[in-house]
Amino acid sequence: MEDLTEAELRSLAGARSFERGLGYVDAVSGIEIGDDWIRASVHGTERYEAELTLGGRRGPTGRCDCPYGQEGNFCKHLVALGLTVLAQEADLPRQRESARNRARGLDAWLSGLSRDELLSAVREEIAEDRQLRRRLELRAASAQGDLAGIRSRIRELLDIGPYAQYGHVEYADARAYADQAGQVVSAVRSLSASGRAADAMTLAREAIGLLAGQFDSVDDSDGWLGQVGADLADAHHDACRAARPDPEELAHWLVTHALDDAADLTDIDPLDYEDLLGEGGMAALRRYAVDAWQAHRTGWAEKDLVQRLAKSGRDVDTVIAVHAADLAPSGHTHLLIARELDAASRSDEALEWAERGIRDVDDLTTVDTALVDYLADRHAREDRLPAAAALRRDHFAARRTLLAYRRLRAAARAVDRWQTERAAALDLLRADAEQRTAHGAPVLVDVLLDDGDGAAAWRAAGDFGAYDHQWLALADQSRATRPSDALAVYQRLAAPLTRQVGNDVYEQLVSLLLSIRDCHRHLESPDEFAAYVTELRSALKRKRNLMRLMDEHGL
């Protein structure tokens, strides 16, 4: 076991999984040992099967059927198994040899049985083990070419009845049902391997449909049934690769499946079959997808499928047709079309769609801002600066926000009209503020602050009001020039914080105290600040973390 150490386990699992694995060592049972592998069950909230492979070129590896292990991670259950193996390291050679002897003994016993004795032993096991019986029945039907028999066994395997209470498979039974359903995958693959790929393909499709019909009745929180669905999809793809079905028929099934609820179970992507479909099949695939979309133009799945297939074939006109059939009133769809046309080097058409998007919007307050940005940027790049400024002006007039103001400022400066545009924009904002609209005064204060016009911002805040964060920004911006005004703001904001607790509150309060100290420095009134702090410390002395923080900042 020179290739497995505690340090190796920690490296493979990471510190967190390793530490958690320490608590599962006593949960390891049923250890089986082979020449280069060790398996065991690990019991926690569920029973999981873990397997370590030793002596490989890459060093120790492991797999576990817990959700974390299924993602390819070296989980806590593998750590627990590894630590158990290390604890039994001295006895490992004996256990390994004992396992070999048992295997040889079983093989020798089976080899020594007569045909009738062997059949009797198998029949006894079948009578005791229903799962074994079903697996062997499936193998028998496959060997005999009994398609009806295989189909019947598959239906039995996918029946939730034996596991369901009140028509639903609970979480505790989902794993067992998924294990049974997984036998269908083996049956499909066995058919393919025996040269009957066409039958395997047909049964895979039927099984996918049956399993999808049961999916909503199973608590698949751990994803076991989803994995069976993915495995069935892989088995279907492999069967198609071997059977080489008619491309037209395959295309029709792929589109039908992609638009069916079963698609959520298997996640089959029709584009993965491109090499099997060929040019004719891909053309049929797109045709069937377009037909489905035309029959249900508002269906999300139909639209998505048509667009993906069209893009794969560089069929921009079809992509545009799908978008154009369901134009969003915000102009967002016009923007998507413009971007598709740009990608196809059809920039003139892209511009037309973007401009149409602005025209089609009934109210610019609802327009997609990204469409405005796209069109304004196009105007600017193509030296239509007045048009860009006009668009930004109209958008700001409809949506008076700080962002729209900034965009207008940049566009107006580019045509040397900012002073005129600014005056008009501020008139609009002042009118909003006077009418006490929801965002009138705050936006006015924000844009004046953003312009660096502190004096006007103070006046607006005083006349129309402002939020606390805006008052704080005003005070921070003008501490040196208006220390008295700033001081009043800081003291007002500090007052409620003195009645609250918590380290975040203390940090805010100390920040305000530092600003208050700076104001007093500008006012040349350090004694007033000293008295203020002394009174504050006396009142808040029980708040030890605050006192410590004030000490750190010399307050």
Q: What is the pLDDT of residue 347?
A: 94
Cβ-contact 194, 239 below 8 angstroms: no
Question: Residue 537 and residue 231: Cα distance in Å, rounded?
Answer: 69
Asked if 456 and 490 sit in the same domain, the reply is no
Half-sphere exposure of 517 (CA within 13 A, CB side): 13
Q: What is the pLDDT of residue 1?
A: 46
Local confidence band at 56 (pLDDT 50, 70, 90 cut-offs):
low
* Of the candidate ranges 206-215, 314-323, 409-418, 529-538, the one whose mean pLDDT is the lowest: 314-323
Query: Given 112, 143, 161, which residue is the final one in a domain?
Result: 112
pLDDT at 134 exceeding the cut of 80: no
* Of the candidate ranges 18-27, 36-45, 56-65, 441-450, the one whose mean pLDDT is the lowest: 56-65
Q: By percentage, how much of the chain surpasses pLDDT 70? A: 98
Fill in the amino acid letter for 239: A
Q: What is the pLDDT of residue 32?
A: 85
Asked if 15 and 107 sit in the same domain, the reply is yes
Question: Residue 132 and residue 343: Cα distance in Å, rounded?
Answer: 58
Start-to-end C-alpha separation, the chain: 63
The mean pLDDT value for 88-102 works out to 78
Q: Where are the alpha helices (DSSP H) in 115-223?
A: 115-128, 130-143, 147-157, 171-193, 197-215
Report the predicted TM-score, pTM, of the whole model to 2 decimal places. Answer: 0.60
Residue 422 forms part of a structural domain: yes
Residue 83's nearest CA partner among 13, 25, 10 is 25
Local confidence band at 83 (pLDDT 50, 70, 90 cut-offs):
very high
Secondary structure (DSSP) of 456-468: HHHHHHHHH---H
Residue 423 forms part of a structural domain: yes
pLDDT at 234 exceeding the cut of 90: yes
Asked if 454 and 484 sit in the same domain, the reply is no
Q: Which residues pair with 165 in a beta bridge?
A: 168
Residue 336 forms part of a structural domain: no
Order the strands of the 47-53 sheet from edge to edge.
28-33, 37-43, 47-53, 61-64
Contacts of 294 (CB under 8 A, 6+ apart): none
Residue 329's nearest CA partner among 299, 363, 300 is 363
Radius of gyration of the chain (CA): 36
Q: Which residue has the tokens 């007002």?
A: 492
Residue 70 forms part of a structural domain: yes
pLDDT tens per residue across span 253-285: 999 999 998 888 888 999 999 999 999 999 999
Domain hosting 69: range is 6-112
What mean pLDDT is reported for the chain? Answer: 89
pLDDT tens per residue across span 139-172: 777 667 678 888 888 898 899 988 887 889 888 7
Sign of the alpha-carbon torsion through 483, 484, 487, 489: negative
Answer with the residue of higher pLDDT: 392 or 154. 392
Strand (E) or helix (H) holding 41: strand 37-43
Question: Residue 400 and residue 19: Cα distance in Å, rounded?
Answer: 56
Number of domains in the chain: 3
pLDDT tens per residue across span 61-79: 888 888 788 777 889 999 9
Asked if 396 and 428 sit in the same domain, the reply is yes
